Amino acid sequence: MSDRYAVIGRPINHTKSPLIHGLFAEATGQALEYGAIEGELEGFEAQVLQLRSEGGLGMNITAPFKLRAFELADRRSERAQLARAANALKFEDGSIYAENFDGIGLLRDIEQNLGEPLRNRRVLLLGAGGAVRGALLPFLQAGPRELVIANRDMAKALTLRNELDHPRLRISRYEELDGQAFDIVVNATSASLTGELPPLPAGVLGGARLAYELAYGKGLTPFLRMAQAHGVARLADGVGMLVEQAAEAFAWWRGVRPETRAVIDRLTIPLE
Ligand code: NDP
Q: List the CATH number of the domain containing 144.
A: 3.40.50.720
Say if residue 38 is in the same domain as residue 96: yes
Ligand 1 centre distance from Cα of residue 89 (Å): 22
Ligand 1 centre distance from Cα of residue 54 (Å): 34
| Residue in 16, 66, 156, 218 annotated catalytic | 66
Say if residue 194 is in the same domain as residue 79: no
Give the pLDDT score at 265. Answer: 96
Nearest CA to ligand 1 atom 20: 198
What is the domain extent for residue 141?
103-237
Domain count, the chain: 2
Ligand 1 centre distance from Cα of residue 129 (Å): 6
Say if residue 163 is in the same domain as residue 210: yes
Per DSSP, 202 falls in state G
Give the pLDDT score at 264. Answer: 98
In a domain, 272, yes or no: no
Say if residue 134 is in the same domain as residue 232: yes
Ligand 1 centre distance from Cα of residue 1 (Å): 39
User: What is the rounded average pLDDT of the residues 151-166?
Assistant: 94
In a domain, 13, yes or no: yes
Per DSSP, 205 falls in state G
In a domain, 64, yes or no: yes
Pairing of strands 210-213, 95-99: unpaired
Query: Could you tell me if the CB of 136 is within 6 A of ligand 1?
Result: no
Percent of the chain with pLDDT over 70: 100
Residues 215-247 pLDDT 10s: 999 999 999 999 999 999 999 999 999 999 999
In a domain, 181, yes or no: yes
Residues 46-105 pLDDT 10s: 999 999 999 999 999 999 999 999 999 999 999 999 999 999 999 999 999 999 999 999
Ligand 1 centre distance from Cα of residue 231 (Å): 24
Please indicate whether residue 16 is annotated as part of the active site: no
Helix (H/G/I), strand (E/B), else coil: 234: strand
Give the pLDDT score at 85. Answer: 94
Say if residue 137 is in the same domain as residue 225: yes
CATH number of domain containing 52: 3.40.50.10860
pTM metric for this prediction: 0.96
Query: Could you tell me if the CB of 134 is within 6 A of ligand 1?
Result: no
Give the pLDDT score at 272. Answer: 80
Say if residue 227 is in the same domain as residue 251: no
> What's the residue count for the chain?
272
Position 150 pLDDT exceeds 90? yes
Q: Using only the alpha carbons of the chain, give its radius of gyration.
A: 18
Position 1 pLDDT exceeds 80? no
Position 7 pLDDT exceeds 80? yes
Query: Could you tell me if the CB of 223 is within 6 A of ligand 1?
Result: no
Distances (CA, A) of 126 to 92, 174, 230, 233: 36, 9, 17, 19
> Which atom in ligand 1 lies closest to the alpha carbon of residue 105?
40
Give the integer Cα–Cα distance in Å for 116 and 109: 9
In a domain, 189, yes or no: yes
Ligand 1 centre distance from Cα of residue 190 (Å): 3
In a domain, 132, yes or no: yes
Give the pLDDT score at 202. Answer: 83
Say if residue 128 is in the same domain as residue 64: no
Query: Could you tell me if the CB of 241 is within 6 A of ligand 1?
Result: yes
User: What is the rounded average pLDDT of the residues 186-213?
Assistant: 95
Starting at the edge strand found earlier in the chain, the sheet holding 75-76 runs 32-38, 3-9, 58-61, 88-92, 95-99, 75-76
Say if residue 233 is in the same domain as residue 244: no
Nearest CA to ligand 1 atom 2: 129
In a domain, 153, yes or no: yes
> Confidence band (pLDDT; 50, 70, 90) for 2?
confident
Among 190, 212, 239, name the best residue to mutate to test ligand 1's pocket (greatest count of ligand atoms within 8 A of Cβ).
Answer: 190
Say if residue 127 is in the same domain as residue 59: no
Say if residue 109 is in the same domain as residue 228: yes
For residue 25, the Cα-to-chain-centroid distance in whole angstroms is 21
Say if residue 96 is in the same domain as residue 126: no
In a domain, 44, yes or no: yes
Per DSSP, 233 falls in state S
Are the C-beta atoms of residues 102 and 83 closer than 8 Å to each other? yes
Say if residue 30 is in the same domain as residue 134: no
Percent of the chain with pLDDT over 90: 96
Residues 14-53 pLDDT 10s: 999 999 999 999 999 999 999 999 999 999 999 999 999 9
Among 189, 214, 216, 226, name the best residue to mutate to test ligand 1's pocket (greatest count of ligand atoms within 8 A of Cβ).
Answer: 189
Give the integer Cα–Cα distance in Å for 46 and 51: 9
